[in-house]
């Protein structure tokens, strides 16, 4: 028979015995919200033919800025169309023009320093005629507010000595030139006598054909010389643009 003290201790201390450990269920995992995939940033000028990175213009807006002419209208060949291109000038300005595009190929002109402070524009890319690649097609001079002095500085060194005095920038008297064209030529009476003479006023003067001439606009002078090549851009479309103006 158990002793009274032992029985008493068992009864008393048994009340305070620790209960059996209970397993607490782990909290249910909180679902993590799936991040939405990042949207592709909008493509600038996606609906307007793309962006001209230098000028910041949409190509459609650049085309709308180009001049239109009524005579000697250039047209791209069948199956091709046009898009706006650009070339850098000084003082943050850009030369805009309408270039020929055939399929996924488009003509583009590159500008580089030339002689006597002038610049030469050559075909960097062509739309159809691969033989034009790298070929110079325009000579450009800049002057503010007008480029006359820059033109004379370029032209005069190449004029034959006997024609230095009579040669000057004139409006051509014969048909076949753009409506706003100029030519470096002899006075009209002498020019008629030398009509068949090629370049009587040097390499930047009037030739025996109507494929070389000057245009002056927006503080620049541009000399065109195409020869037998069909240009892959609209010669009359050139315009100067400065962002913010």
Domain boundaries of the chain, sorted by first residue: 59-241
Q: Which residue has the higher pLDDT, 200 or 169?
A: 169
Instruction: For 9-56, write each residue's pLDDT tens digit.
Output: 444 444 444 445 556 566 666 666 565 655 666 777 988 789 999 999
Q: What is the DSSP string of the chain?
A: ---HHHHHHHHHHHTTSPPPP-PPPPPPPPPPPPPPPPPPPPPTTTTTT-B-TTT--BHHHHHHHS---SSS---PPTT-EEEEEEEE-STT-EEEEEEEEETTEE-EEEEEE-GGG-EEEEEEE-SS-GGGTT-EEEEEEE-SS--HHHHHHHHGGGS-GGGTTT-EEE---STTS-TT-BEEE--HHHHHHTTTSS-TT-TTS--SSSSEEEEEETTEEEEEE-TTPPPSB-GGG-EEE-TT-
What's the rounded mean pLDDT across residues 223-231? 90
Instruction: For 171-205, write each residue's pLDDT tens digit.
Output: 988 888 888 899 999 898 887 766 656 678 999 99
What's the rounded mean pLDDT across residues 134-147? 91
Which pTM value belongs to this model?
Answer: 0.78
């Amino acid at each position: 028979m158990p002793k009274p003290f032992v029985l008493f201790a068992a009864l008393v201390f048994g009340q305070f015995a620790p209960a059996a450990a209970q397993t607490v269920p782990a909290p249910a995992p909180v679902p993590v919200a799936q991040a939405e995939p990042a949207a592709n940033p909008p493509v600038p000028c996606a609906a307007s033919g793309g962006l001209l990175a230098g000028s910041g213009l949409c190509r459609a807006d650049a085309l709308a800025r180009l001049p239109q002419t009524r005579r000697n209208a250039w047209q791209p060949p069948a199956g091709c169309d046009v898009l706006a291109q650009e070339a850098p000038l000084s003082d943050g300005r850009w030369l805009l023009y309408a270039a020929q595009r055939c399929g996924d190929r488009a003509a583009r002109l590159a500008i580089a320093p030339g002689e006597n402070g002038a610049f030469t524009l050559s075909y960097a890319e062509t739309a159809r005629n691969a033989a034009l690649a790298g070929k110079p097609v325009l000579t450009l001079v800049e002057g503010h507010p007008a480029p006359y002095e820059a033109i004379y500085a370029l032209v005069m060194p190449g004029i034959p000595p006997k024609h230095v005095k009579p040669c000057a920038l004139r409006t051509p008297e014969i048909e076949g030139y753009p409506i706003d064209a100029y030519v470096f030529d002899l006075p009209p009476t002498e020019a008629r006598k030398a009509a068949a003479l090629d370049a009587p006023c040097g390499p930047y003067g009037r030739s025996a054909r109507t494929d070389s001439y000057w245009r002056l606009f927006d503080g620049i002078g541009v000399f065109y010389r195409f020869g037998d090549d069909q240009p892959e851009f609209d010669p009359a479309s050139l315009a100067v643009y400065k962002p913010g103006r």
